[in-house]
Structure 1
Amino acid sequence: MNILYKAMDIPKSCEVGNTIFKKLFYENSSMNTRDKEIFKDCIDKIIWRYSFKEDTINIQTYKDDIREYDEIAIIEVILEKDSKCKRIAEIIQGTIPYPIILVFSYKDSFLINVGHKRTNKVDESKNTVEELIFTDWIKTNKLQYRDKVFTKSIDISKLSYANFYKFYSDFINAINLYNASIYQNDLKALENKDADEVKEITDSIEGIKKKIDKLKSKIKKERQISKTIDLNIKIKKLEKQRDKLISKLNK
């Protein structure tokens, strides 16, 4: 994934390059037999690529009532199969307590996963991942325009160095804008918008898409014409809502 790390322009002082053995996750997370099979069948290797700490980069630690960020790691998961990324991310993010930029690589493609973490109120020794956010698969040998703009946006010199929370938040915002750009022709135009608002609109669009897909699936199984017509009417209403949100995103 040289193209990604080159775009991020990470100082050599942050390099780690250590292998993380699967045993770490077997012993420190609540993995069932199926989870262990996923790790065995889908993962070739897990590598701790970089570590951002106060002594490796000029960024301050962050602490408030619900979270403590004194380190950010970039961990790469080299896959044997490009599947089960969501479950693998859940396990890795849930096991490692500090914020992670998780990079999945498969052949000539990569996918990034991030998620803010907060202290578990029931068990303070554990952390809760607030939301797992994923990019699409990005082909390194066939970057689209939005991919090129995105990789430029995650040059770490463009992120906030105020503290690790703001640094990580800026990285997440870059991903949220990238994900929204599938509905917007110009990612650079989105960079001038409020990232939280863009994510809210994008989440609403995705939610409507799921509802439409579910209704279309019902139509395929429906035998009564009256019910099919009713389902089509509902789809049309949802499509109008979706198009309105996409239009709002493009203003």
Structure 2
Amino acid sequence: MIHKLYEKMNIPKDCEVGNTIFKKLFYENANMNVKDKDIFTNHIDKILWKYSFKEDNLNIKPYKTEELDYEEIAVIEVLLNDDKKYKRIAEIIQNTIPYPLILVFVKEDKILLNTANKRVNKVDISKNTVEDYIYSPWINLLNLKYNEEKFLESLNIKEFSFINIYKFYCSFVDKINIFNASNITGDFDNLKNKDIEEVNTLNTEIENLNLKVEKLRGDLKKEQHFNKRLDINIKIKNIESKRNNLIEKLKA
């Protein structure tokens, strides 16, 4: 089923790589503890380098400054036996492979996408500082929702920015951010016409409020005193009201 994603991305044949990345690379080069090695051994079936985007095959200029080094983007497919530890796997892979990466996690008929911003480590220029991990939700390719269909259609790379490799990568990141916001509003098309910075800001604020509500609900389950339970309930209602206002703003 994974072919559905790559078909939507409309990737030229010249970009194909198709190499296996052996787990040994990470065992030898990543700072992995025993638990990390266990995750790689038991949770990952295979890691494949599927595609490479660079000047040679896409006629797109690299982008290099003191802080950014975007010369090539690698699309890495991670076939999972178990989908519980994908965030830790993403962190290890993103920190080990120096290229900007698009990670495609695959578990049976489901996929999840990950990107991360990378900056040159000024203390050790052979390494990158990885920040802002961005994850899509899991998408069932056999049962696509409307906004998921729209999201996959938006991943046609020929419609991305070709100013340089960095802008190209940002195009992909923006699509994931819009998709994440569309899971709140249900309307991908409306969001893709909005200012991406505004979408990201509102989405982050909504997610932060969701985390606060989740924590308070946990506190509520443990609280025995009526007055304190009432106080927590009032706080939850106030936060939910604020969250709903932000959602309406996102929809507008």
Q: Same fold (TM over 0.5)?
A: yes
* TM-score, structure 2 normalization: 0.98
Structure-2 residue corresponding to 1:108: 109
Cα deviation, 1:104-145, whole Å, max 9, x if unaligned, reads: 000011000001100112222110112100001111111110
- 1:1-150 alignment, distance < 5 Å: 1-150=2-151
Q: Tell me, yes or no, if structure 1 residue 231 matches structure 2 residue 232.
A: yes
* TM-score, structure 1 normalization: 0.99
Structure 2: distance between partners of 1:126 and 1:67: 12
Structure-2 residue corresponding to 1:240: 241
SS of structure 2 residue aligned to 1:132: strand
Q: CA RMSD in A?
A: 0.7
Aligned length: 251
- 1:182 deviation in Å? 1.2
Ranges in structure 2 where 5+ consecutive residues have no aligned partner: none
Q: What amino acid sits opposite 2:70 in the alignment?
A: Y
Structure 2: distance between partners of 1:175 and 1:205: 16
Structure 2: distance between partners of 1:133 and 1:147: 17
- 1:185 deviation in Å? 2.7
Ranges in structure 1 where 5+ consecutive residues have no aligned partner: none
**Percent of aligned pairs with the same amino acid:** 53
Structure 2: distance between partners of 1:184 and 1:81: 30
Q: What amino acid sits opposite 2:19 in the alignment?
A: N
Structure 2: distance between partners of 1:141 and 1:166: 31
Q: Tell me, yes or no, if structure 1 residue 178 matches structure 2 residue 179.
A: yes
SS of structure 2 residue aligned to 1:130: strand
Structure-2 residue corresponding to 1:166: 167
Structure 1: distance between partners of 2:142 and 2:186: 21
Give the ranges of 4+ consecutive aligned residues of structure 1 lying more than 2 Å apart after TM superposition.
Answer: none
Q: What amino acid sits opposite 1:139 in the alignment?
A: N
